[in-house]
Structure 1
Amino acid sequence: MGGSIMETILLLREENERKAEARRADEEKRRSEERAKAKAEAEGRRHRDKMGMEERARRDREEARARTQELLLLIGALTKKD
């Protein structure tokens, strides 16, 4: 009977270890998925930021071009007056 109790204890211990290992594996998988999600979100933010910066730069160039045209028209008007 003592051997049977020891076998039961060993089986319970092995089962506990398997469950603990399964929990650790699940936790590692969850952390890995969270890291992948965070990485994807960061990449998305960087992409949106880059697109925003490019759009602002494009608008700035267009505004500078428009101001230059206005200045050229004003200079042309002033030089024709003289």
Structure 2
Amino acid sequence: MDVLTIAKIVCNSLSLENVKFITSGGTSDGRGWIGDVKHMLLDVSKMKNLGWTPKLSSLEAVQLASNEILQYIQNTNSN
């Protein structure tokens, strides 16, 4: 999942429309900033071999987290 996909999920959770994403800067090797990881591939095969199965995809997890953070903020501000 790339950063723009995450940004779009967050905008959707916030009901934001017509958001302009500006991607600029970064390092000459294509990373976002010094120390950034350009590509990360997470492997859960060892966990699956132990009997674990993920309940959510990466996309679903980001959507859930975004919605729960928004709900938390709304609840905090209403108190």
User: Could you say which structure has the greater relative contact order, defined with CA pairs below 8 angstroms and 6 or more residues apart?
Assistant: 2
Task: Determine which structure has the larger helix proportion and give its number.
Answer: 1
Larger Rg over CA atoms: 1
Structure 1 and Structure 2 fold alike (TM over 0.5): no
TM-score by length of 2: 0.29
